[in-house]
Structure 1
């Protein structure tokens, strides 16, 4: 028996990128009010947080959020194993290792993108994760890194930013049974650029992601980085297996209605219907003593590019906003024909 035999990887055409301070359970529930099919991710959660934290708060989610992937960051095989083992009692569909976060706080703790300089170590971490679960394990990484001034002295001046560097990384990692690679098509600059700049300044090199799929066709390759429209998604799907989209979903969540074609559906939900679902969700979390603002802050983009956008944002930004306010807001929007 192959010791790396796992459940089948999730082959979903569209996934929503893990975003720190964005893709929490409230935002994921908001996404599900619009689209039931896209693959969701948690925020990146460190293995240490799982090992030492409040598990229901950190790992808990509702059944409606499936299919969903738990993304972790880890610095050693031992802590990765423990974290994945602990997470087993939660019904995640897949476990993902983050080797793409460029944050200096993360890199300074030998997690995230800096690990691309150590493919053998990454392979051992993934091997440990595999041994801790029967769920499929995947990896999210960049096409390369510039670790100057961040990585230890022996390699601090080396830049791992060529296609050959990435292919070497992938070849080493796949030996431990990893078949699903989510690749952000930019390098990560570990010093001198902050996280936001690392999403914008390094140029996109989609061709290199296409090339890795062409040269190693048995891999399941998902592309990420700067993707905003259905037209762009369609173009990428000519070369890779699936597409991950991030900030655009947060800024314009109604784009989720355009993804029905990837699932043989026609999504016709209206903003009025979404707000009605929101009211029910807010009523539920109010009963559990949760501040509605923690949910509503994720809904700024509901009227993106539409009449009523400023009106909507102003209302939900009120820290005292609640289900009663939402009901009145819906009436106002309908009366003023903004919905």
Structure 2
């Protein structure tokens, strides 16, 4: 089993269902060498009984990358964690925050906020199964819970089991009455409570998630915390991540313009096309790259209309690029 240094969580890209697949992560890794990337949530049942490579396979070039699991059976989560660690993931994370209908029917995700003892049992089992870090991602509460009581009670319990990293989405989840989409924006943000958790649990690593619309707003909101996690902002406006390495990690910025990032991603696209992957599976993650720049609309349109066609190849990407960087695309 390959081992890695403890993940540096100063900047993380959130796990997002149907979005942060291996192609998305490969693209994000082009933009930042240092950000910690997360997989889509994979259920422990699927990992232990399904096609592991299809579900959670990844390329070493994506590192550092963490696996997020969903589930509520400690033994099954332990087995899935072991599979993930053996594949080489540098962290295993337990989802205790997703409010979708799927997790409600399976009694995991945000539902587990009501069962802190079970959360602690799950995390303990996962931690006993692997040598890589095991972490928690949660909400501040669900439904009629009082977050000021529910959140510290949960953190106290998991800390007593040896879990010292919590990624906190600073909103309640309403499992009845709000859709998953509404749960990402309607419940009010409570950053102050997350700051209080860092004061109360100084030996824990507390990462802030929720409502961070730009890298700069994330840095401003971070305050006394250990890191920030961006989700939809990182996905819809991925060029934001080009600033992560210099602003957060003190490293050199890889590219001065988005078109350079496109060219750097082309070898990956070419490699995947040769394996039979459809172009759209990769380019769909790039649609927002030129957000706010000349040619952005044509970039999106060219990729959206043509990358889905049978046999679509690199010429489609170059045609889209010509709308934003004509000289580069025709050089």
- What range is the shorter-chain TM-score in? over 0.9
Residue 45 (structure 2) pairs with residue 48 (structure 1)? yes
Q: 1:313 to 1:28 in 2, by over 3 A?
A: same
Give 2:315's aligned residue. 324
- 5+ residue gaps, structure 2, are none
Task: Kindly indicate whether the alpha-carbon contact (under 8 Å) linking 1:7 and 1:136 is maintained by their aligned counterparts in 2.
Answer: no
Separation of aligned partners in 1, 2:281 and 2:4: 35
Task: Indicate the SS of the match to 1:183.
Answer: strand
Of the three residues 250, 272, 280, the one matched with 1:264 is: 250
Give 1:18's aligned residue. 15
The Cα offsets for residues 205-231 of structure 1, whole Å up to 9 and x where unpaired, read as 000000010011011000100002233
Separation of aligned partners in 1, 2:74 and 2:254: 46
Residue 115 of structure 1: how far off its partner (Å)? 0.5
Separation of aligned partners in 2, 1:334 and 1:81: 49
Give 1:152's aligned residue. none
Give 2:286's aligned residue. 299
Give 2:201's aligned residue. 216
Instruction: Provide TM-score, normalisation by structure 2.
Output: 0.93
Separation of aligned partners in 2, 1:288 and 1:205: 46
Give 2:217's aligned residue. 232
Separation of aligned partners in 2, 1:17 and 1:61: 16
**Which 10-residue stretch deviates more, 101-110 or 245-254?**
101-110
Residue 187 (structure 2) pairs with residue 202 (structure 1)? yes
Separation of aligned partners in 1, 2:154 and 2:233: 29
Residue 169 of structure 1: how far off its partner (Å)? 1.2
**Which 10-residue stretch deviates more, 323-332 or 268-277?**
323-332
Residue 84 (structure 2) pairs with residue 97 (structure 1)? no
Task: Kindly indicate whether the alpha-carbon contact (under 8 Å) linking 1:307 and 1:338 is maintained by their aligned counterparts in 2.
Answer: no
Give 1:3's aligned residue. none
Separation of aligned partners in 2, 1:326 and 1:230: 27
Give 1:149's aligned residue. none
Of the three residues 131, 134, 137, the one matched with 1:137 is: 134
Give 1:64's aligned residue. 61
Residue 34 of structure 1: how far off its partner (Å)? 1.2
- 5+ residue gaps, structure 1, are 1-5, 147-158
The Cα offsets for residues 81-100 of structure 1, whole Å up to 9 and x where unpaired, read as 12112223211000000000
State the number of aligned residues: 322
Separation of aligned partners in 2, 1:133 and 1:244: 24
Task: Kindly indicate whether the alpha-carbon contact (under 8 Å) linking 2:299 and 2:323 is maintained by their aligned counterparts in 1.
Answer: no
Instruction: Provide TM-score, normalisation by structure 1.
Output: 0.90
